Chains A and B, each alone.
Chain A
Amino acid sequence: MGLHSIVMVKQVPDTANISGQVMKEDGTVNRAKLPAIFNHEDRVALELALQIKDLYGGKVTVITMGPPRASDILRECLFMGADEAILISDRKFAGADTLATSYVLSEAIKKIGKYDFVLAGRQAIDGDTAQVGPQTAEKLNIPQITYVEEILEVSNSKVKVKRKIDGGFEILEAALPVLLTVLKDAAFPRPYKAKRIMAYKNAKTLMELEKITEGNSLLYIDQLKDEYQTKKLYIQTLTMDDLKLEEERCGVHGSPTKVHKIESVVLAGGNHEMIEPNKNGVSYLIDKLLEDHILG
């Protein structure tokens, strides 16, 4: 027995805290200047996977598709309690929209093998599209439940969940395997364990190990990888070739949506009437609104 959950996580720019520095003069976004964070709803998804493991036993694998620096959030997943973390990274994945992303993620999940749950946050804060979850489920040919508010029970290869619908909620029962996307209040993510931080702070991806060997001619990458694997500090790293992917379905080539135009948000000059922030000003404003039959 025991249930295997695969959690899809994403490192996202902290769009809620964009400062002036981040915007270039031409109005585009300088991504390099944006702090990168762990998408919160994905962290909630990991918490639910860990709760499933706590209750029913099994294993939790986290995967992310992203640039090499996305390894930061994989280490955070290990600190929280994930058993295994996998980075899916390749220059050829750059510019992927949700369709290309779901292709890569679904192929990685197929390679990982047998699973009972695929979990993810409902959406990531950089795009707010909520599309990668359903598109991954479609490619895996498994059912999906989006907007999950609570996992009620797991038994006999079935899961019962409460999900949000417009104007209320419904209780659904799904046969496993199933893909769930979860809302931020579905669980409260556990803090990192000090013991796990000590154990995994030095966990490294293939790219990070390559960096180490670059500076040291006495180190060989295969040897180093073996060493990290033995110490259980190797973060498995998969490229396009490792997954035997079709290049034309990856990255910008595999993405039907193209950005045609980007406009920085230019604010129209203040055409408004300034009202004094005092009793007289407010009184004048209310008179005007009463006169125009907007109030009263």
Chain B
Amino acid sequence: MGIMNKDVWVFIEQRNGKPADASFELLSKGRKLAENLNSSLKAVVIGSNVKSLAEETFKFGATETFVVDHPELEHFRTLPYSRILNELVENYRPRVLLFGATVIGRDLAPRVASHTKSGLTADCTDLQISTVKYLKKDYEDLLLQIRPAFGGNIIATIITPDVETQMATVREGVMRLEPLSTPVNGKITNIPYQPNEFDELIKIIEQHRQENKVNLKAAPIIVSGGYGMGTKENFKLIHDLAATIGGEVAGSRAAVDAGFVSADRQVGQTGVTVRPKLYIACGISGAIQHRAGMKESNKIIAINSDPDAPIFSVAHYGIVGDATQIIPMFINVFKQKLR
């Protein structure tokens, strides 16, 4: 492949001009990947009046930011956004391109990967750079795309050895946000946008958005319930405990699927990754996808009737028992002590 471009790119997602958290988290991770590759971190910003947003990327180490600024690009639309990225990828061929695994990222990334025939791995929980031997061939500096697979029974490391651009999506909160103390002296490169008839095949009629109704990431205490709570009625105990100790309510995917708790409160690989001061897991068995989203909490209490539940492997305190009995006990004792 001759002289290969080794740059790491991050697609910066904006909603009403505000950057998605996942994008700046990915810049923070991308900076380290670029260091490992001895290359540059670059960002792509698409929108309307996004110059100041583009400059924010320099705080996270982007040395060059491609800006496509046009009134028609104010809101995300699959067709023009993917067309712009396709052209950028084909012209510059970055070595790595990262997207937040948001609704927009998961809509956009596969379309771009298909067009540019790139490899794409969804919902990675870790990214690394390493030299890899694959089918007796040595590949220098590949992107290791690590994610749980098969219902969380295995952790797979995916590589895309024979493509020019390696693509991955990562959920919000998985990578840590690490702004630089002094922004880099980055460059803005403006890319012109030519509207196209094809872009108009889909029109936005209305848009309704309420930002951050639930902010699990910022909560110092989280009380989380799983399928083991049994019923939606029992799940109220999670709310009671959270209210008593000043915490936010969360749940596992199984609890969301069972309708015990809303999807915006889901902790785990396909939900939010959290690092609170205290995480209380009630009736959560602790599949790896769930553990991936909470194992870095400062203190973890696990309450589960099954002593072999995997949740205990990440817990600091374990209580083997029925959460529906332990929680009321906890609430009563706590209230007495505060008196």
A binds B: yes
Are A270 and B313 within 8 A (Cβ)? Answer: yes
Given the known inter-chain contacts A15-B150, A15-B151, please indicate yes or no for A286 contacting B334, CB distance below 8 A.
Answer: yes
Contact B205 A265 (CB under 8 A): no
Is the beta-carbon distance between A282 and B207 smaller than 8 angstroms? no
* Contact (Cβ within 8 A) B156 A135: no
- CB contacts (< 8 Å) of B321 on chain A: these are 277
Other-chain residue from A135, A147, A269 in contact with B111 (beta carbon distance below 8 A): A135
Judge whether B118 is part of the interface by a CB distance below 8 angstroms: yes
Which residues of A lie under 8 Å from residue B104 when comparing CB positions? 165-166
B180-234 contacts to A (CB < 8 Å): 201-213, 221
Q: Once the chains bind, are A137 and B119 in contact (CB under 8 Å)?
A: no
Report whether B114 and A258 are in contact in the complex, using a CB–CB cutoff of 8 Å: no
Residues B119 and A257 in contact, CB atoms below 8 Å apart:
yes
Contacts of B176 in A (CB 8 A): none
Please measure, in the bound complex, the distance between the C-alpha atom of A35 and the C-alpha atom of B149, giving whole angstroms: 17
Is there contact, CB below 8 Å, between B107 and A144? yes
Instruction: Decide: A275 near B122, CB < 8 A? Known: A16-B151, A146-B107.
Output: no
Q: Is the CB of B319 within 8 A of A144?
A: no
Does B174 interact with chain A (Cβ within 8 Å)? no
Instruction: Give every chain A residue within 8 A of B109 (Cβ-Cβ).
Output: 131
Contact with B along A182-196 (1 / 0, CB 8 A): 000000000000000
**In this complex, what residue of B is CB-closest to A144?**
B78
Residue pair A160, B205 in contact (C-beta under 8 Å):
yes
Q: In the docked arrangement, what's the CA distance between A268 and B213, Å?
A: 35
* Cβ contact within 8 Å between A18 and B78: no
**One of B33-41, B52-60, B63-71, B296-304 at the interface:** B296-304
Is the CB–CB distance between B110 and A135 below 8 Å? yes
Taking CB atoms, residues of chain A closer than 8 Å to B221 are 295
> In the complex, which residue of chain A has the Cβ closest to the Cβ of B139?
A260
- Give the contacting residue for B338; candidates A129, A133, A139, A296; CB below 8 A: A296
Given A165-B104, A265-B288, are A143 and B202 also a contact pair (CB < 8 Å)?
A: yes
**Contact between chains at B154 and A29 (CB < 8 Å):** yes
Give residues of chain B (122-168) contacting chain A, Cβ–Cβ below 8 Å: 122-123, 132, 134, 144-145, 148-163
Cβ contact within 8 Å between A294 and B102: no
Is A164 an interface residue when CB atoms closer than 8 A count as contact?
A: yes
Closest to A23 in B: B153
- CB atoms of B113 and A174 under 8 A apart: no
Asked, given contacts A29-B154, A268-B313, A282-B326, whether A99 binds B202 with beta carbons under 8 Å apart, the answer is no
A130 within 8 A of B: yes
CB of A2 closer than 8 Å to a CB of B: no
Q: Tell me how many residues of A have a C-beta within 8 Å of chain B.
A: 82
B245 touches A (CB below 8 Å):
yes
Query: What is the bound-complex CA distance between A143 and B314, given in angstroms?
Result: 44
Q: Which residues of A contact B152 (CB under 8 A)?
A: 265
Interface string of A160-173 (1 = CB under 8 A from B): 10001111111111
Report A99 CB to chain B, min CB distance, Å: 6
B170 proximal to A (CB < 8 A): no
- Given known pairs A165-B103, A173-B203, A260-B132, the reply for A143 and B79 (CB within 8 Å) is yes
Chain A 144-166 interface residues, beta-carbon cutoff 8 Å to B: 144-147, 160, 164-166
**Could you say which residues of chain B place their CB within 8 Å of the CB of A174?**
201-203
Is A39's CB within 8 Å of the partner chain B?
no
Q: Which of A172, A265, A277 contacts B154 (CB 8 A)?
A: A265
Residues of A241-261 at the interface with B, using a CB-CB cut-off of 8 Å, are 256-261
**A167, B213: Cβ atoms closer than 8 Å:** yes
Docked complex Cα distance between A262 and B150 (Å): 11
A267 at the interface (CB under 8 A from B): yes
A258–B23 Cα distance when bound, in Å, is 26
Interface residues of B in 79-120 (CB under 8 A from A): 79, 82, 102-104, 106-111, 113-115, 117-120
Interface presence of A61 (CB below 8 A): no
- Interface check A198, CB cutoff 8 A: no
Judge if A212 is at the interface, Cβ distance under 8 Å: no
Q: Decide: A138 and B320 in contact? CB cutoff 8 A.
A: no
B302–A272 CB distance below 8 A: yes
Return the 10 tightest CB-CB contacts between A and B, nearest first: A277-B321, A15-B151, A256-B119, A168-B209, A135-B114, A131-B110, A134-B110, A138-B114, A267-B313, A261-B157
Question: Can you list 6 A-B pairs with a CB-CB distance of less than 8 A?
Answer: A29-B154, A135-B110, A258-B134, A260-B132, A262-B154, A294-B299
Known: A258-B159, A260-B157, A265-B155; 16 extra A-B contacts, CB below 8 A, are A29-B153, A29-B154, A131-B106, A143-B78, A146-B103, A146-B106, A168-B207, A171-B206, A257-B119, A260-B158, A265-B152, A267-B310, A272-B315, A272-B316, A273-B318, A277-B326
